[in-house]
Amino acid sequence: MLRLISGRIVTSLISLVGASLIAFVLLRLTPGDPARLFLGQFAGEDAVQALRAELGLNGSILSQYWIYMGRFLSGDWGFSYSTGQSVAGLLLARFPATVELGLFAFFFAFVAAVSCALVSVYRRGPVSDGGVRALSFFAQGVPPFWFGLMMLLVFFEGFGWLPGPEGRLGLRIIPPPTVTGLLTVDSLLAGDWTAFKDAIRHLILPAVTLGLMPFGFLYRLLRANLEGITREPFITVARGRGLTRWAAYVRHALPNAFLPTLTAAGLLFGQLLAGSVLVERVFVWPGAGALVTDGVLKQDFSVVQAFILLSAFIYVLTSLVVDILAAMLDPRVAQSQGGGR
Amino acid sequence: MSSTTNQPPLLEVRGLTTEFATRAGAVAAVRDVSLTVRRSEKVAIVGESGCGKSTLALSILGLIDKPGRIASGQVLLEGRDLVGLSESAMKTIRGKTVSLIFQDPMGALDPIKTVGAQIIDTLRRHQPGLSHKAARARAVELLREVEVPAAERRLDDYPHHYSGGMRQRVMIAIALANAPDLIIADEPTTALDVTTQAQVLALLERVVADHGVAVLLITHNLGVVAEFCDVVQVMYAGRIVERGPTEAILARPTHPYTQALLESIPDPARIGTRLRAIPGMPPDLSAMPSGCAFEPRCFFGHGREICRTRQPAPVEIETTSGPSQVECHFATERAARASEVAAS
Amino acid sequence: MRRIGDDKTFALAVLIAALLIVGALLGPLVWPLGPLDMDFGAPLAAPSFAHPMGTDSNGRDVFARFLTGARISLAVGAIVVLAGLVVGGAIGVAAGIGGRVVDTILMRLIDALAAFPPLILAMAVTVGLGVGLKTAAIGIALSSVPFFARLMRGDILRIRTLPFVEASVAMGAKRGRIIARHLLPHTAPTMLVQCASVFGYAILTLAGLGFIGLGAQIPEPEWGAMITDGMQYALTGQWWLALFPGLGVLLAVIAANLLADRLEESLNPRSARNQVR
């Protein structure tokens, strides 16, 4: 077990070094002077030269990488000239919105995928099965930003049931005092039901849109695992002990189907991260993803570059945590002596 | 014999047919099977793999899922028909009145739940008033009864810590948990090595005797049957072709299939004689012969007109140890010849 | 048991694919209006007989743009699949038959590429090499390399140990010959499935990059960029601008995924869907 974990940590670290090298090389390939790019076209030559020295751009490529990584790891992610703020400050300020949206999207994807997979495996009927299967193909084939736009067309423009692209709260709602940065949590803490309900109403469409692709992915994975596991003898035996088929599926098949699915949760996280870049803009959601698209629009790539390396770190670390968690939850791995698989 | 005729039967299966929907249409794996198990009686169902004996076991417990279904027949448990009962009605019977021991001990326990949790769950499901603590104490008792060493400690182990034989002991403990009237044991020793087989079988024999439980034992091993069972039902291609008292059938089989089955296993009493494999394969269930299903492989009836064209009806035969029933056109003739041979 | 409707959905996938391919190849030649031709007399016209998908703010015919968009998407899809297959496949083969050292180095490289969520890696490339359709294609191709490389390596490692390959190694067959004659043909089925699914991935990602402004630039008739262009009009009543290019992406990706799914099913007869129970 320990060997498994330490081995996994080492490979993750190597991946991160490799990923940062790729990000660094791509950064250096960017046409034009990075210092000029950082400072913008209106900065004076002196300032550019000073920054070049500070960034170590006059040194060897290796020392440049070293300085680049040192700055990144110490939280200095550059300067966004279009906003006049530090990239780290910008991203951190936008992070809670992205996290809240991601959590709700994940919740939607998870609940929908589990119930769809259970029902379609349980019923074994061609109709329910075909319907859910078609839905999963749609979820994996639809461009999320386009889907979000169509949802707005139907539910905001058409029926007027849900708010339009106006961010996290309606204009006339006073935001609750910031504690966690998650509006749903903060409004509950403040006891402000109006704000809470409004925050939820604003979350529905973006969360469904962002969660759609992870839903399709998770559903297909879970379904395949469930289909195999429901054929295992222990399901029949569990029913022979006095569980209904449904209870045997929920209590025995589902937990067993989750284990292999858990290791894929890292991929799911990556989908949410990349999806936030595509979806937030449509709903004018004030998160990190929208910050990236704004940066592209304004040709201010410092934010984009920081986001790219940051997402690699988050992605690799999540996969690592999830792998270790899966190993710990599986008694066959967790309790084996000596570790190695 | 432990059965007495005036007692009402514990389990009575009448004309049970179980079908599976396939691309080629419905295929019957169990055809018009009737059988009776009395209280404390030990009944064996014997046949080659694929003859439908496992399907029969699952059908009795209502564990046949789509695309399979029970097409006709009744499963009467103390006179109550189980066919068509809902899952919520069946769950009070399964694991309580009737328990199941499954053939594959390696796969029969949930790998990510402790053995104790699975025993305790079985107990508390049928005895809602039982506290967790009491259930745990009872689980330890059960493990002790099936001779699992260090029962208390092993309760919290996961199935992969148990050997195959130990797991099958756990399965027996689970089957016994709620003092059932009937245990259906589907090939309980097949996956085990020979010494473990003997131990598990001896254990099963002891606990069954201790608790007076009836057993429906499904096996292809005639040695196990001889040791264990009062009554044998021989199954071929979904039908029961011969049934009767164990001694009579093993000593003097009437159906050619039963005879062939007996001759295909090694027997110390017949050292020096050749083992005879049954030629050919069991018939394809989706393309059954129109006459006797065994005719193409039968050393006795192969090629005979009546065997090829007509399904034989059951014939009653009197044996020294009681009546038996045989589905063969030549049953009477063969029985007479067998007793002549025995007499001379 | 084969599911009811499976053959119908397969036929549907083939039909969609055929329509898109024919539309992409012949459409721009047949349709009288060009994707960049402006008609200031008819801006933001609703779908009609003359403009089946309406016109955009500059009076450009959306149908003409849709057809050229299909051409761009399918071409990029094909290029990405080809490049990913060649580069990723070569890395996979080298890792599979090379020694431990080669395998470790190559797989760490692949790990580094796979450390980014695929779309993000493609974004990094376009930012680094300069925004545009070409760099977007390069970025997507690079992000597909790990898919091919890992699959190919796994396949090669599996096939290598099959008796007939070991026999020909023992008989002293040349390495190149073994790769060409024994290893590669046996990886074809899984690679074919992967090609179909990467094709769908490429189209979807291209649209995503176009949408955020890192791929094709407005007014290029690329589906993703067309959706961006249409976004501002969607909620003011001109829904056709964004609807049709999105439908194009959706249909193309679903067709590719359906084909991949069906190929896998027929190549892997033990897959759950073909079983009786």
Whether chain A has a CB inside 8 Å of the CB on C12: the answer is no
Question: What per-residue confidence (pLDDT) applies to C1?
Answer: 39
Q: Which amino acid is at B41?
A: E
DSSP lists the bridge partners of residue B33 as B16
The string of pLDDT tens digits covering residues B227-238 is 888 899 999 888
Q: Residue A185 contacts by C-beta under 8 Å, 6 or more apart in sequence?
A: A179
Largest Cα–Cα distance of chain A, in whole Å? 82
For the cut 90, the answer to whether the pLDDT of residue A75 exceeds it is no
Closest partner residue to C213 (CB to CB) among A126, A142, A297 is A297
Whether chain A has a CB inside 8 Å of the CB on C38: the answer is no
Eight-class DSSP state of B259: H
Q: Residue A22 contacts by C-beta under 8 Å, 6 or more apart in sequence?
A: C112, C113, C116, C121, C124
Q: What are phi and psi of A103, to 5 degrees?
A: -65, -45
Query: How many angstroms separate the CA of residue A229 from the nearest CA in chain B?
Result: 10
CB A113 within 8 A of CB A121: no
For the cut 60, the answer to whether the pLDDT of residue A338 exceeds it is no
Question: Could you tell me the pLDDT band of residue B195, with boundaries at 50, 70 and 90?
Answer: confident
Q: Tell if the CB–CB gap between A282 and C231 is shorter than 8 Å.
A: yes
DSSP lists the bridge partners of residue B14 as B74
The answer to whether the bond into B67 is cis (omega within 30° of 0) is: yes
For the cut 50, the answer to whether the pLDDT of residue B3 exceeds it is no
Question: Could you tell me the pLDDT band of residue C2, with boundaries at 50, 70 and 90?
Answer: very low
Percent of chain B with pLDDT over 90: 30
Rounded CA separation A314/A289 (Å): 14
Eight-class DSSP state of B181: S
Closest of B310, B282, B277 to residue B294, by C-alpha: B282
Q: Tell if the CB–CB gap between B109 and A242 is shorter than 8 Å.
A: no
Higher pLDDT pick, B23 / A295: A295
The arithmetic mean of pLDDT across residues A284-296, rounded, is: 91
The string of pLDDT tens digits covering residues A79-136 is 887 888 888 999 999 999 999 999 999 999 999 999 999 988 888 777 777 788 889 9
For the cut 70, the answer to whether the pLDDT of residue B273 exceeds it is no
Rounded CA separation A218/A258 (Å): 10
B182-186 and B11-22 as β-strands: parallel, antiparallel, unpaired? unpaired
Give the 3-state secondary structure of residue A336. coil
Best mutation site among A82, A133, A149, A318 for testing chain C: the one with the most C CBs within 10 Å? A149
Range with lowest mean pLDDT among A161-175, B113-127, C199-213: A161-175
Rounded CA separation B76/B98 (Å): 12
CB C222 within 8 A of CB C173: no
Q: Tell if the CB–CB gap between A259 and B113 is shorter than 8 Å.
A: no
Q: In chain A, whose CA is at the least distance from the CA of B125?
A: A242
Closest of A307, A290, A288 to residue A98, by C-alpha: A288
CB C181 within 8 A of CB C171: no
B80-81 and A85-86 as β-strands: parallel, antiparallel, unpaired? unpaired
C178 alpha-carbon distance from chain centroid: 30
- The predicted complex's ipTM stands at 0.89
Please name the helix (run of DSSP H) or strand (run of DSSP E) that holds residue C183, with its range, or none.
none
Q: Which residues of A touch B (CB under 8 A)?
A: 124-125, 232-234, 236-247, 252, 255-256, 259, 329-332, 335
Whether chain A has a CB inside 8 Å of the CB on C240: the answer is no
Q: Tell if the CB–CB gap between C1 and B21 is shorter than 8 Å.
A: yes
CB B145 within 8 A of CB B173: yes
B182-186 and B214-219 as β-strands: parallel, antiparallel, unpaired? parallel
Contacts of A129 in chain C (CB under 8 A): 3
- Whole-model pTM? 0.87
Q: Which residue has the tokens 């300069």?
A: C130
Question: What per-residue confidence (pLDDT) applies to B269?
Answer: 65
Closest of B231, B227, B256 to residue B241, by C-alpha: B256
Domain edges within chain A: 35-70, 88-286
Domain edges within chain B: 241-269+276-344
Q: Is A338 left (phi over 0), alpha (psi -120 to 50) or beta?
A: left
Contacts of B92 in chain A (CB under 8 A): 242
The string of pLDDT tens digits covering residues C101-136 is 999 999 999 999 999 999 999 999 998 888 889 999
The string of pLDDT tens digits covering residues B86-111 is 989 998 999 999 999 987 777 899 99
CB C204 within 8 A of CB A147: no
A79-80 and A85-86 as β-strands: parallel, antiparallel, unpaired? antiparallel
Whether chain B has a CB inside 8 Å of the CB on C1: the answer is yes
Question: What per-residue confidence (pLDDT) applies to C277?
Answer: 27
Give the strand order in the sheet containing B214-219. B98-101, B182-186, B214-219, B42-46, B231-236, B239-245, B322-327, B314-319
Extract the tokens encoding B145: 């009864």
Q: Tell if the CB–CB gap between B58 and A234 is shorter than 8 Å.
A: no
The answer to whether the bond into B256 is cis (omega within 30° of 0) is: no
Q: What's the residue count for chain C? A: 277
The arithmetic mean of pLDDT across residues A188-207, rounded, is: 92
Extract the tokens encoding B160: 């992969």
Question: Could you tell me the pLDDT band of residue C200, with boundaries at 50, 70 and 90?
Answer: very high
Rounded CA separation C175/C160 (Å): 12
Rounded CA separation B229/B39 (Å): 13
Extract long-range pairs of C16-20: CB within 8 Å, 24+ residues apart: C16/C251, C16/C252, C16/C254, C16/C255, C17/C252, C17/C255, C17/C256, C17/C259, C20/C70, C20/C74, C20/C248, C20/C251, C20/C252, C20/C255
Question: What per-residue confidence (pLDDT) applies to C61?
Answer: 86
The arithmetic mean of pLDDT across residues B1-30, rounded, is: 79
For the cut 60, the answer to whether the pLDDT of residue C178 exceeds it is yes
Whether chain A has a CB inside 8 Å of the CB on C231: the answer is yes
Extract the tokens encoding B237: 């291609």
Question: What per-residue confidence (pLDDT) applies to C255?
Answer: 94
Rounded CA separation A234/A253 (Å): 9
Please name the helix (run of DSSP H) or strand (run of DSSP E) that holds residue B25, with its range, or none.
strand B25-37
Question: What per-residue confidence (pLDDT) applies to B251?
Answer: 83
The string of pLDDT tens digits covering residues A227-240 is 889 988 999 999 99
Question: Could you tell me the pLDDT band of residue A37, with boundaries at 50, 70 and 90?
Answer: low
For the cut 90, the answer to whether the pLDDT of residue A248 exceeds it is yes
Question: What per-residue confidence (pLDDT) applies to A337?
Answer: 44
Range with lowest mean pLDDT among A283-292, B202-211, C54-63, C247-256: C54-63
Please name the helix (run of DSSP H) or strand (run of DSSP E) that holds residue B233, with its range, or none.
strand B231-236
Extract the tokens encoding B76: 């009467």
For the cut 60, the answer to whether the pLDDT of residue C50 exceeds it is yes
**Average pLDDT value for chain C:** 86
The string of pLDDT tens digits covering residues C88-100 is 999 999 998 888 8
For the cut 80, the answer to whether the pLDDT of residue A65 exceeds it is yes
Question: Could you tell me the pLDDT band of residue B323, with boundaries at 50, 70 and 90?
Answer: confident
**Average pLDDT value for chain A:** 86
**Average pLDDT value for chain B:** 86
Q: Tell if the CB–CB gap between C115 and A312 is shorter than 8 Å.
A: yes
Per DSSP (E only), the strands in C184-223 are none
The arithmetic mean of pLDDT across residues B271-287, rounded, is: 74
B11-22 and B25-37 as β-strands: parallel, antiparallel, unpaired? antiparallel
Please name the helix (run of DSSP H) or strand (run of DSSP E) that holds residue C22, with its range, or none.
helix C6-30
Extract the tokens encoding B262: 């007996």
Angle formed at CA A339 by CA A338 and CA A340, multiple of 5 degrees: 110
For the cut 90, the answer to whether the pLDDT of residue B114 exceeds it is yes
Per DSSP (E only), the strands in C75-128 are none
Question: What per-residue confidence (pLDDT) applies to C274?
Answer: 35
Extract the tokens encoding A120: 């379609």
Structural domains in chain C plus CATH codes: 6-31+58-267 (1.10.3720.10)
The string of pLDDT tens digits covering residues A301-322 is 888 888 999 999 999 999 899 8
Question: What per-residue confidence (pLDDT) applies to C271?
Answer: 45
The string of pLDDT tens digits covering residues B178-193 is 999 999 998 888 878 8
**Cβ-based neighbour number of residue C102 at 10 Å:** 13
The arithmetic mean of pLDDT across residues C56-62, rounded, is: 83
Question: What per-residue confidence (pLDDT) applies to C164?
Answer: 79
Question: What is the DSSP secondary-structure string of A96-145?
Answer: HHHHHHHHHHHHHHHHHHHHHHHHHHHH--HHHHHHHHHHHHHHHHS-HH
| Fold (topology level) of A88-286 | MetI-like fold (1.10.3720)
Eight-class DSSP state of A286: -
Burial of A99 (0-12, 13-18, 19+ CB in 10 A): middle
Percent of chain B with pLDDT over 70: 94
The string of pLDDT tens digits covering residues A212-221 is 999 999 999 9
Question: What per-residue confidence (pLDDT) applies to A336?
Answer: 55
Whether chain B has a CB inside 8 Å of the CB on C274: the answer is no
Contacts of B20 in chain C (CB under 8 A): 276-277
Burial of A75 (0-12, 13-18, 19+ CB in 10 A): exposed
